[in-house]
């Protein structure tokens, strides 16, 4: 199964100014997050951000914050616990006809963009818990491994193992970019290629 831009949303988790200095390989991780968000803009994929306890950890890095449609401040480690799922689902449309005659599962609006591409810090805490919450909320979750990190490689890698076991797809920034484009004939191909290279 490949990602489709029209079915995707991007969530960038906690690239916060006071957190990034202690993150393993922070510079490359942040650069890939920014590259991912710029690619998303080129192919019209909505970009959302989260910030863990921003009064203590500060805001997201300005280059990330500037690329997000909106940023969810949270106290739970899982942004799904703070209502991220409501941001990612379209407003429910009233059912046509007699609503009482429809089974409840048919009354619930399915998300138009159900593929959630997610990256962030720390991979084994906020990223992991948010991704697991989104899986539980029946989204498809794609974790961009080269745009995620933790204070230690061991914690980061343990998160990837757990996420893969739970059903998340593990991908890289380039994989996402080229899958969103789909073809070298895409109108944004040259701009995207410049970002990827």
pLDDT digits (tens, 9 = 90+) for 101-118: 555 555 555 458 999 999
Cα dist. 83→35, 74, 90, 124 in Å? 26, 9, 13, 20
Domain ranges within the chain, ordered by starting residue:
5-89+109-196
Where in the chain does DSSP place strands (E)? 8-13, 47-52, 70-74, 115-120, 140-144, 169-171
For residue 141 the two structure tokens come to 């979750």
Instruction: Lowest mean pLDDT of 46-60, 89-103, 146-160, name the range.
Output: 89-103
Q: Are strands 115-120 and 8-13 parallel, antiparallel or unpaired?
A: parallel
Q: What is the pLDDT of residues 56-100, one digit of tens each?
A: 999 999 999 999 999 999 999 999 999 999 999 976 666 555 555
Q: Cα–Cα distance between 20 and 171 in angstroms, integer?
A: 22
Name the fold adopted by 5-89+109-196: Rossmann fold (3.40.50)
Cα dist. 183→113, 133, 178, 188 in Å? 20, 32, 8, 10
Q: Which helix (H) or strand (E) holds 193?
A: helix 189-196
The pTM is what? 0.90
């Amino acid at each position: 199964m490949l990602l489709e831009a029209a079915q995707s949303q991007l969530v960038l988790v906690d690239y916060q100014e006071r957190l990034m200095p202690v993150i393993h390989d922070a510079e490359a991780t942040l650069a890939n997050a920014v590259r991912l968000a710029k690619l998303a803009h080129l192919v019209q994929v909505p970009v959302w951000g989260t910030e863990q306890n921003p009064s203590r950890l500060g805001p997201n890095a300005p280059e990330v914050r500037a690329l997000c449609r909106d940023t969810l401040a949270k106290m739970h480690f899982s942004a799904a616990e703070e209502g991220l799922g409501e941001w990612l689902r379209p407003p429910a449309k009233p059912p046509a006809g007699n609503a009482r005659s429809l089974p409840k599962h048919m009354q619930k609006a399915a998300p138009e963009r159900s593929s959630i591409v997610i990256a962030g810090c720390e991979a084994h805490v906020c990223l992991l818990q948010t991704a697991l919450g989104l899986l539980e909320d029946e989204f498809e979750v794609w974790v961009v491994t080269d745009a995620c990190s933790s204070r230690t490689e061991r914690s980061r890698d343990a998160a990837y193992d757990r996420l893969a076991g739970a059903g998340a797809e593990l991908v890289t920034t380039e994989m996402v970019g080229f899958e969103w484009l789909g073809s070298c004939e895409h109108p944004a191909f040259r701009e995207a290629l410049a970002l990827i290279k």
